[in-house]
Chain A
Amino acid sequence: MEKLTIALSKGRPAKHTIETLEAADMQFIDFHEKSRKLVFYNVDESIKLIFVKAVDVPTYVERGAADIGIVGKDNILESRAEVYELLDLGIGKCKFSVAGFPNYSIDANRPLTVATKYPNVAEKHFSRKGQEIETVKLNGSVELAPLIGLADVIVDIVETGNTLKENGLTVLEDIDDISTRLIVNKASFATKATEVRSFIDQLNNALERTP
C-alpha cells in the first residue's frame, strides 16, 4: 500500500471535511479544531493529512507535494492548476459573480476596469466574452472599489449578497458555481491508482449516505 498525502485548507472547511472523512471510516484521533499541528495521520497511518493555506492547496497537488487536495472551486479556478477534479463535496456552496451599481451597463468598446481578488478568474470570464479588461488586484474590501471610482465593476465570491446590498451594489452576472472539490495530481492518479480510487470511492459512499 502506498501512502496518500491529502492537502486540506485550514479553518472552517477543515472541520467539515474531517467530519466527512470520519463518516468514510477514516479516523484522525488527535485532530481537534484548536490544535496548531499541521500534520495528522489516520489510525493505520495510510493517510497523511497536511494543512496548508487554501490558495496553496491546488499548487501542492499540481506539484505533487500532495496526491489529493480538498479545496474550494474558487481557489482551483484562480490557480489554473493542471489537476483532475473528481468530486464535488457539495459543501461551501457560493458563486463567482460580476457585481456593480444597479443598472450599470458594460461598454464593449472600451476596457472595463475590474477590481478583484481573483484576476485570473476575471480575465478568463471576460476574454470568453470578448470584453477587454484592466484588472485591479485587491486583497480585501473589494466592494469598496466601485464606490470610490477605483473600478467599474468587481469580480468576487457571492454567498448571500448582503455585503453587496449594504454597499449599494448588485450582481450583474454570474460566472461560476463554487463548492468544495476533491482534486488529484495527474501522476498520482496513474501511479497510485488503487489507493487514490479507493479513497475517492470511500468518500463518495459516505457523501451519498449523508443527506
Chain B
Amino acid sequence: MRQNKEKLSNQAVQSYKIKSQLIRKLRTRFATYGYEQVHTPAFEDYDTYASIQKTVNKDEMIKVIDRSGKVLVLRPDGTIPITRLTALDREINGSEQRLFYIFNVYGEQNSNGTNKESTQAGVELFGNKRPEADAEVIALAVHTLKEIGFDNFKLEVGHAGFFKELVDQANLAENELQQLQELIQSKNLAEMEPFLKQLQIRDELQEALYAIPLLYGNPQAVLEETKAIIKNERMQEVLNNLKDVIEVLTDYDLLEHLTLNLGLINNMHYYTGVIFQGFVENIGKPVLMGGRYDQLAEQFGKAMPAIGFAYKVDVVLEALKQHQLIKDDNNPPLQIYYVPEERRNAFSAAKLLREQGYAVITKPFAKNAQQAGILFQSNGRVIVNGNEQQVETNEELLNLAELATGGV
C-alpha cells in the first residue's frame, strides 16, 4: 500500500520533470532567435473574446462569473491575448516585436470533459509581413522539432488564402462550406466527386476544388502543379507568396523537412497567409500549428502584420513517450548522514554543497540501513560510500560530493 503511494508520487515528479525539461529547451531556443517572454492573465473578458470575429467557438470556451456578475473566460488560445497586449501598447508603433509565451490554455475540446487544460508554448512575430519573416518562424519551428529529438518529422505548409479564394467563387451555403471543408481536410476524394457534382458551380471550379487534396508533397513539384488551377489574380498572388517563402526557406537548408499541403485548412479562422503544422512520425495530430494573421490586430485598433506558431506541449510529451525519447536521467539527491555530535558540521557541509547546486538531503545516521552518500561519523571521520576519506578543505568536500553523485 505504502509502496504504491510512493510510486505514484514518483511518477508525478518524473512527468513534471520531463515537461519542464522540454519547456526549458523551447524557452532557450526561442530566446536565441531574439524572442522575449511575456505573460497574460488566464482570465479574459468574455465580451472582448465574443466580439472578436472568426475565432474560437464560443461554446468551447470555459466561462466564469465573478462577484459582480461579469462573465469572464479562461483564455482559449495564446495568440489573441498576445496580439491584444501588443496592439494596445502605445510605445510600439509599427516596430518589429518578437515575443513568446508558455502558459496554459483552456477549452472544452473533448466531449468527455477531459483535457480542459493544456499547455502551449508559442512565438509571435509582429510588424513584419515579408516572406523572410514567414521563413524565420518556420525555420524556428523546424529547429525546435529537431532539437526536441524527433528525427522523422514534416512541416506541412499551406496558405489560408488559397482555399478561401477558390471557395469565394463558389458561393456556398454555410453547411455546404462546412461539408466541403471536412472533405478536403480528410482528403476524401471518393465523396468529394459526387458532392461537387450536385453543387451548382462551374466545371473548372469543380475541377480546381477536386484537385486541392492532392496538391501535396515536394514544394517545387506542388507549386508547378498548382499553376494549372490558378483562376484569378488573387490566387496568383497567393501562389507567388508561397513561392517567395519557399525560396527563402531554401537558404535555411531545411526543404527536406517541408511538405506543401494546399489542402491544409486551419479551424482558427483568423489566418490570412501562410499556414503550417508539424507532424512527427506516427502521431496523428499536429504537435505544432501556426500561420500568418495580418488582420487580427485591427480588431484591437491597430494595423499590424503578424505570424506565429504554438506547440501543443502535451501532444509533444505524448509523442516523446511513444518514440521512447525520454531519457531517464533521474539523479537522486546526495544523502548526508550524521551522528549527533557532527550535526553542525553536516549542516554546514550541506549548505555549501547546496550553494554549489547539489541537491542534498540530511538525515541522522541509523545503523543497519543501506546508506550510500556521505556519513559524518564520530571523531571527525568522513565516510563516502563506505570508504573513509580526508576532508580538510571545502575543495575536498566538493570532490567528495562529486565522487558520491557523479557530478551536479
Contact = CB atoms under 8 A, between A and B. Distances in A.
Nearest to B282: A64
Interface string A177-210: 0000100011111111100000000000000000
Contact of A186 (B189, B191, B217, B285): B285
Contacts of B19: none
Contact of B279 (A62, A87, A88, A186): A186
Interface in B188-230: 188-191, 216-217
B175 to A, nearest CB: 7
Interface in A98-124: none
Interface string B255-289: 00001000000000000000000011111111000
A22 interface: no
A190 B283 contact: no
B154 interface: yes
A191 B175 contact: no
Nearest to A63: B284
Contacts of A190: 154, 156, 259, 279
A186 B154 contact: no
A188 B187 contact: no
A83 interface: yes
Chain A's interface: helix, strand, loop or mixed, by majority?
A: mixed
The size bracket of the interface on B is 20 to 34
Given A84-B186, A128-B175, A181-B190, A191 B284 contact: no
Nearest to B287: A187
B37 interface: no
Contacts of B156: 190
B115 interface: no
A48 to B, nearest CB: 14
A82 B187 contact: no
Chain B's interface: helix, strand, loop or mixed, by majority?
A: mixed
Contacts of A86: 187-189
Contacts of B152: 191
B399 interface: no
A121 to B, nearest CB: 14
Which of B186, B217, B279 has its CB near the most chain A CB atoms (within 10 A)? B186
A85 interface: yes
Contact of B281 (A83, A87, A187): A187
Given A64-B284, A64-B322, A186-B279, A191 B153 contact: yes
Contacts of A61: 284
Given A85-B190, A86-B187, A128-B175, A187 B283 contact: yes
A181 B282 CA distance: 20
A83 B188 CA distance: 10
22 contacts: A64-B281, A64-B282, A64-B283, A64-B284, A82-B284, A83-B186, A85-B186, A86-B189, A128-B175, A186-B284, A186-B286, A187-B154, A187-B281, A187-B283, A188-B282, A190-B259, A191-B152, A191-B279, A191-B280, A191-B281, A191-B282, A193-B259
Given A64-B281, A185-B284, A190-B259, 5 more contacts: A63-B284, A64-B283, A85-B188, A88-B190, A187-B284
